[in-house]
Chains A and B, each alone.
Chain A
């Protein structure tokens, strides 16, 4: 019998701790599938974030490092510089990459570090209980912006990917989404591209993944997907940025 679907080898056969309808499980799997397709599990080193995905190394079956909150790209920079033949990527949320770690993000990108970044944008802080994120939409209610994000109080949703597009060291930027199967497939090919670029030594690649957080959006899993489609992607348009 021909097997058409199975757990990719770089993914452990274990249930995750993520909430029902969370996007991390899908994104973890996409990364694992890409690593399997490219045959690079034995030479891949991941840097996990601080946030909901801190224990990504419990789900992935390859070498992983932790990093303090926001510092994943500093840690990854050194790992890659010490071992240029390895494939090194970071997996970071919006708080990690675009708030506390903005400096590390911009400078790793500007140095053109030959790294791949999977950037999960769910417009909220998940692990700490649904606080305002740099990417929270105007009007979006969070536990620290109960009346909704107000541009006068909180500023605007930060478009870090568009900012990074200005930097000559960045070779590839694409924004994708997990809100339906077609978009999930596109997300996979963007992640594959980011890894492929590193294999070819082209420089800094980042894939921004719009990912549902039904728990802290106060929506059902299904409604959360629709919210990405109808609301979130208007602020964060999908497609190739660079």
Chain B
């Protein structure tokens, strides 16, 4: 149930408010641009809803505080931007390896290294391939509007709890900083029962242990197989994407997050000229919405657009499996493709010799 009142929020604030609305009881973070409004909002407001806020001494400490809070049964979150998320990878692997739910927000900036503070999408591999060690997955959700940032943050908590798999919100500096009207939910967060495994003192029950260490022969393999089963279930049930004008499309743009907003403008302009252009916007980057790529017509080409030099491109190739042609256009390191650049590329595809007229 929604109330109709909309308020103007930045993406960062919307994520913070979505988290609190979802019953987030713990946040730890370390300042880094361009996500500082998020830690700022949490420091001022999480306590009002009975939650605990800690400004940690580093990203390493922050993610391990999230581990401790999640082990206590709380809905726990941290946020950062690219270099800080790199520092958290050890902790994320341990959270995955201990089957703890948690939400990690990455408001991406340019890399590699210290890079810059401009928006980018160059952490796609890190987010979807498991940036830390071991065979694990994160549920990765990529909003393309402030409203969706709010909604998907709540969703990330629910999914993470449901599967006991950590979830990531993957945005970028544009999404974090821009302001849009948001309709807030008044729905009360439903909290699941974690008393069967969380650490709360063993009064009246057998002790619980939260761990990711399986030294005895065969144990770790067994645990991994259990994780894999969960991952397969998530792949079956939780893939989501937005599709636009796919029927009869000659060129299907594939883009997520901020890049998808620009792609949508391009589509509107070209469709007004009668061009048959469609869009697949993956909303979950893992699981990747592979099914969306099965419906394309025989002559359809895909054009993948990213604020990176071709990372999601690999998932599109896997989904398309050689059945259709795939083109790519990307900029990164602070550069963002303009509508004009994309339109030029599309026109060249339409006009190219041997291609369609």
Contact = CB atoms under 8 A, between A and B. Distances in A.
Contacts of A104: 57, 60-61, 64
A44 interface: yes
Contact of A66 (B202, B204, B213): B213
Contact of B202 (A61, A81, A106): A61
Given A44-B201, A45-B199, A74 B65 contact: yes
A83 interface: yes
A107 B57 CA distance: 7
Contacts, number: 129
A82 B201 contact: no
B211 interface: yes
A83 to B, nearest CB: 6
B150 interface: no
A71 B203 CA distance: 26
Output the residue of B25, B58, B199, B211 with the most chain A CB within 10 A: B199
Contacts of B64: 67-68, 71, 74-75, 78, 104
Interface string B199-223: 1111110011111110100000000
A103 interface: yes
Contact of A83 (B61, B72, B203): B72
B303 interface: no
Interface string B228-268: 00000000000000000000000000000000000000000
Contacts of A48: 211
B201 A77 contact: no
A83 B64 CA distance: 16
B212 A79 contact: no
A65 B58 contact: no
B67 interface: yes
A66 B94 CA distance: 9
Nearest to A67: B64
Contact of B211 (A43, A57, A81): A57
A43 B54 contact: no
B213 A103 contact: no
B20 interface: no
A43 B201 contact: yes
Given A64-B207, A75-B64, A54 B213 contact: yes
Interface of B: 25-26, 28, 52, 54, 56-58, 60-62, 64-69, 71-74, 76, 90-91, 94, 98, 199-204, 207-213, 215
Q: Which 10 A-B pairs have the closest CB atoms?
A: A78-B68, A42-B203, A74-B64, A75-B68, A71-B64, A43-B201, A107-B57, A66-B211, A78-B65, A82-B72
